[in-house]
Amino acid sequence: TFVVGENCINCKHTDCVEVCPVDCFYEGPNFLVIHPDECIDCALCEPECPVNAIFSEDELPDDQQDFLEINAELAEKWPNITEMKDSPDDADEWDGVANKREKLVK
């Protein structure tokens, strides 16, 4: 599966959802997740992310392994998103900020 990692938090560009052939992205207040049982590993979304927040499970950094569980858990809870929408006004300011996981709104 592919996994949305920490750098999506508060950036939430939605370029990824537009290309997903199986519509397996789900949207929370300030983060997106991929449903691990629905993702078909096509890899189309990975290069679309402007902040490089999407990883294949195999390449997920060691310090973001908890995002596997976070994606699985929140994909069951949040609504599906299939169309691109405007990014938050301050998205660029949050790109690359450390310890954003504290800001994740579930």
Query: Which residues are near ligand SF4 by CB under 6 A?
Result: 2, 19-20, 22, 24, 34, 39-45
C-alpha distances in Å from residue 35, one per residue of 41, 88, 89: 11, 23, 26
If we measure between CA atoms, which residue out of 92, 90, 78, 66 comes closest to residue 31?
A: 78
Nearer to ligand SF4, 85 or 93 (CB): 85
Using CB atoms within 10 Å of the CB of residue 69, give its burial: 0 to 12 exposed, 13 to 18 middle, 19+ buried. exposed
Minimum distance from CB of 80 to ligand SF4 (Å)?
12
40: its two tokens: 């078909």
Minimum distance from CB of 30 to ligand SF4 (Å)?
19
Residue 92: DSSP 8-state: H
Nearer to ligand SF4, 41 or 62 (CB): 41
Nearer to ligand SF4, 59 or 93 (CB): 59
CB contact at 8 A, 31 and 45: no
Nearer to ligand SF4, 41 or 89 (CB): 41
Minimum distance from CB of 3 to ligand SF4 (Å)?
9
Minimum distance from CB of 17 to ligand SF4 (Å)?
8
